[in-house]
Structure formats: C-alpha cells, structure tokens
Structure 1
Amino acid sequence: MSVIIYRILVVLTYVLAIVTLLPLWRHNAWWVRGFDFPRLQFMAFSFFMLVAEAIFLDFSRYSTWVMMGIALGCFCFHVGWILPYTTFYPVEVKPARSRRPNNLIRIMTANVLMPNRNYKGLLELVKQHQPDVLVTLETDLWWEGKLSVLENEYRHTLKCPLDNKYGMHVYSRLPLEDAAIQFLVEPHVPSMHALVVLRSGVKVRAHFLHPAPPSPTENPDSSERDAELLVVAKSVSDKNDPIIVSGDLNDVAWSETTRLFRKISGLLDPRIGRGMYNTFHAGFWFARWPLDHLFHSEHFTLSHISRLPYFGSDHFPMLVELVYDVTHGADQQGLEADEDDLEWAESKIEEHEVEESHVHEPGK
C-alpha cells in the first residue's frame, strides 16, 4: 500500500470525525452550525471512506480497525439523523381518511429569490396547484406588483415588501382574521401571524416565518434564528387550537435546533416517514437540504405533500395539503421535551430578550 494513500485516508478519516462531532458542540457560530446541514453528504462520504479503507488498508494493522471504526461510527451517526426522513421510518402524521373540502387547507410556500424575474413561472404553479394559502418569501415591491393579479382570487392578503431579501407576502382564498406583522428578534426580519378560517368555519392559528440564517454574510451565529423559532414554539406549546407554522426557517429538518423546536412546540412534521423534500439549493443537485418547512398540531392529517418544480429561484416551492380531522388525528404524537430541552430553549430565547408574550397570538 502506498504511504501517500495511507496518509490521505488517515487525514480524511479524521476530517470526517471532526465534521461529524462538531455540530454536537452547542456553539452558535455559523461555522459550527453550518455542519448541521450536509448530514446526507457526510453519510455518503462516510460510506465512501469505509469502502476506500476496506480496499486500500492492511487489516493486520491496528490503525486500520481504528480508522474503519471511526468511519463506520460516523456513517451510523448520520444515518440516525437522516433515517426519519425516509420511507423506512414510521410516519408521524397519519394519511387523511378523505379530502373533505370544508376542512381542507392547501398551503404553498415559495422563496422566490428576490433578483429572480420569472414571476410567470410562479403564477403558473399557483394556477396549476390551486393553493388556499400562498406564502412568498424574499418578495419586494417588484414582486408585489407582479403578484397583484392573484388578488382577484386571493382577496385576503398580508404584505411586507422589503428589498433586503426578507420581504414576505401571504395571499389567501380563505379569510384571515386578527392578523399581525411582527419583527420579533431582528428589526429587518418580519414574521406574519393570523387566524386562517377554513370553509367549515374552523379557525387555524398560523405563523409564517423566515428568520435570518447563520452565515458569514448574514448573522455570525445562529442565536437570532434560534430565538425566533423557539419563542414561537413556546407560544404555541400550551395551546389546544389547531396550529400551523410554515416558512423558510433557514435550518435543516434534522438539526438540533429544528428538533428542539419540535419538542418545545409539540407540533408534528409530515415529512417524517415520507421523505426529505430537499428545497435548497435548487441549482445544485449534490448539495440540497430541507430548508422550507411546515409543522402542525395533531388536529390535522396529511392529504398531500410535494416539492414543486423549479421556477428560477434557489428554492423549490413546497405544497402541503392538510385535513382538519380531530378524531383521526387525536393520538398523533411528536417529540417531547425534557428538562434539559426546556432550559436550553429558554437560554436561547433570553439571549435576545424576546418573550413568549411578544408573539402575536391570533384569536386570543
């Protein structure tokens, strides 16, 4: 065996161990939290290392078993995070028994990419899939003007056009009541909150979010994003109302923070047991992650979920159709928070002096 190949494998094995273990460090720095994202890629890398080590290393050497043990451990670790987002795992949300129109809500979420000019592509997707509620992100005044044609059918709207890539709009066929636009953590990052009234008259508490990501060009750490997600999670945690939280959360489904959000809120993830539905980056098939989310309370079952086609953005749109069915959904259960989770969430929220009472609770 070439000494050069051996050294390369040693270096790559320890690099794999570092990128695998680093996200376990509860540090908010972007360069730490960024390693939450490519777990699928790290899983593939781990498998590649196992194969390469099996081919090139000498099994009579103790170091070979150490290196293969590290690669196998990393592979199993990443599989553990990814597995719930495959069809090999039990579903968390039951399939709907029927599509009863009066109790059905169809939500489409689309991060448009502000410089993107293919508004016709988005309008065509709306026409084709007929969502009850359309949530657009990164929409500025230009996009608001182009989407104004929707208001003939989508008469209920919330609008917050911004030129900083955090503009947000909601277009709804269903009535919106007690709506509010808030800037919970950062003065340039809005969120929207409203009661969506189903055709049956049932009122659903909806929160639409797009917190800023941890990155060298945005926020140097994840504390702002985490605080916004968790304060909303806390605000819905003790409610018995039907609840939906949706948007581009700038976090992957399998991260510690998203998992903590699910624990604190008690909301369900319809992707569990069904697939990853990777929505970003639309331009790179080898580097895609599930950044666009929809979580909901046990009042709903799932009628449909899909990732929609490319329309020029760096995100694919998501379409989720839920059926309000309290009886059928009653025994659905997500993750539960323990004392450590509650303390960790509280510490993240307190970093930015935002409180549960600051979150608008429509209908209260």
Structure 2
Amino acid sequence: MIHDIQYIEGSITAPQGFRAAGVKARIKYDKKDLALIVSEVPAAAAGVFTTNAVKAAPVVLSKRHIAGGRAQAVVVNSGCANACTGEDGMAMALEMAREAAGHLKISPEDVVVASTGVIGDKLPMDRIKAGISEASQALSSPGGHDAALAIMTTDTVSKEALIQFEIGGRTVTIGGIAKGSGMIRPNMATMLAFVTTDAGITSELLQKALTYVTARTFNMVTVDGDTSTNDSLVILANGLAGHSPIKREDENFLVFRDALEKVCAALARMIARDGEGATKFIEVEVRNAPTFADAGAVAMAVANSNLVKTAVFGEDANWGRIICAAGYSGADLDPGRIDIFIGDEKMAENGAALNFSEERAKEILSREEVKITIDLHHGSEKATAWTCDFSFDYVKINASYRS
C-alpha cells in the first residue's frame, strides 16, 4: 500500500541509513551553500543528466562515477556552476569527490558531484574543502532540510518530498530534494534533484524506473525554456528496508516505480510553482492523444509558450495562443477535434470558438493556480505539464543574476 505523499523536513534522510548536512561555505553569499548526502552502505545508483551539449564538469564526472551502478555519497555546491571551466573545472570536480571520500573513508568513484550557480566562474576550492570538512562532521538524520536549503540559488523555498509504502511486508521510504527556479526547461530532469530510498533494487532496474518516471515528471516541467549545463537527477537505493531485492519487472517493481513517480511529480510541481518571478502556477493537461509522446509534445508546447504564459499573467483568456502552440508541437492531431478549457470554462469546441463568459474566465485566471485542459479527441493517452506565468519580476531577476 502506498500512503499519501508527505512534505516534511529531513525527507532526503528519512529512508533508513541516510544522513545529510548543509553548511555555509560562503562560496558566493552568506547562506547554506554546500550539501553532503551519505548512505551508511554502498547503494545502487542511477542518474539522468542534461542533454545540453555544453556539460558542466561535475556532470561529466558524475556520469562516469555512476556508470557502474553504484555510489555512496553526493556532494553539492551552489553559488558556482563549475561549467565552461576547462581542465581546471574537471580537476576541481574530482577534488571535491576526493575530499568528500577522504572524510567519509570511501572511494572517490563512489561520490557523485553536482554544482549550480553562475556559468564560467571557478570554484573557490579553499572554501569548498573547508565546507566539505564541516559538512562531514555535521552529518545527521535530521540534516536533510539543511541539505535542501544548501542547494538553492534563486529558489524562494526548499523543495522536499517523502513517501512510504510496503514491499514484502516491509516499510519502504523514498525521499527527495530538488532545486530549480529559473533556466528550467530540462530535456531530462530539473536543475538538480537527489532522491534516496532504502528499497532493495538492482541498478539496472533502478535506472529503468528513473528514466520512465523522469519522462512523466521532470521532463514535463518548464519555467523559461532553457536547459541548463548542470541538470542532474540522481537516486541512491541502499536496500536497508530489508525486503527481498527487486530483480525483475514484477509487481514490486511497479509499486516502487509508482511511488518514485509520486515523489518526482511532487518535486517537479514545486519547481514550476517557484518559477522566478512567478505569480501563478499553471497545469496543462492533454487528454485523448494517440500516444503519450503526442500528449507530452502538446502539453510542453503550450506550457513553454511565452505568449500563453504572459496571457495567464495578464489574466487574458486568449485560447488562440493555446491552440496555436498545440498546432506547432509536432504532435499527431486533428485541429477540427480539439476542445480547450481554462479551468472549467470551455473556450473552444472542435477547434472553433464558443461563446464563453469573459468575466468567469478572468476570475479563473486571477487565481494562484490555473489549469488548462486540451482534449484532442484523437486517442486515449494523456500527459500533464507544469509551468508558471511570466511576470515583470522574471526579467528583473535575470537582468541582474550575476550581481
């Protein structure tokens, strides 16, 4: 049985055998900016990383480290992306792994490294190393919330989720933290997300579950259409829940995958809700498409449309922008069958305008949460995307990001 998802502090350390810490290394600001997440034992590991051709050094290193399907720790810094930093950047990412490994008495190859912040700047390694030392001494079971705070950049709130369920009569826990507020249209994940679980599962099946879930959660969130150089999603599964390990795609695998999807969907929604300068959270649901890919393409085209996002900000029921985005999505659709709703107000039927209430539509668009529904009447598959509106503050935030 899967219990309702919970949002609590310490989520990343709720699974058995995990500790974490978040400390002030003062990399750029006087805030928590370095996190360490550790499993008591080596864990099965899987990851999904940016599809940007320009990949930050920690992404390159971490892909290499989890290639064998195993990891035991994650070290993350905010304030500096360590991207576009050449050979020095690779050396610094490796030094972060070695420094953490030394304090934890594990192999550097078992350490995942992640960074987020300004592209092109080099890491202040003296502060990084001091932060890793401090974090290694501060590791604790309640330390998950501090870790969630430490990975934030322009985020206004930490993003944490937790779920518990049963496999073979044993309670299994999945916890996750994420950061992301701008430069979010990942073709794979979020800017950064880390998930832990005490489930026992092979690394091959863990990767299969993560890839499936990512396509339906983190791949369906957008803030501004930009894919970062540093996007990373990593999961560690240490098996300490004590059930028989999941070794095939059976019922237990499906239960695990469903629970993982709930955690990742919750984190993805939080990222969209916390979009830079956002005043409204937008959910775009596409129904009755020929395939999941078609549904997803339409949902993301609408969610990623600046014209749709600005219309929602201005509380203008301009459904023409919605059907226009659906049309250029590349999905298999028949324009003459499309119905469009904003909230529960039907704007268009069979691809043509209806006489709807402008006053009712404006009232719906004035809410903090706005749902757009597009029924293609062209199949049975569905997908949901999450985004936010574009406000004046988005421009202000990104016009002075480096200062």
The TM-score normalised by the length of structure 1 is 0.24
Structure 1 or 2: larger strand share?
A: 2
Query: Higher relative contact order by CA 8 Å / sep ≥ 6: 1 or 2?
Result: 1
Instruction: Name the TM-score, length of structure 2 as normaliser.
Output: 0.23
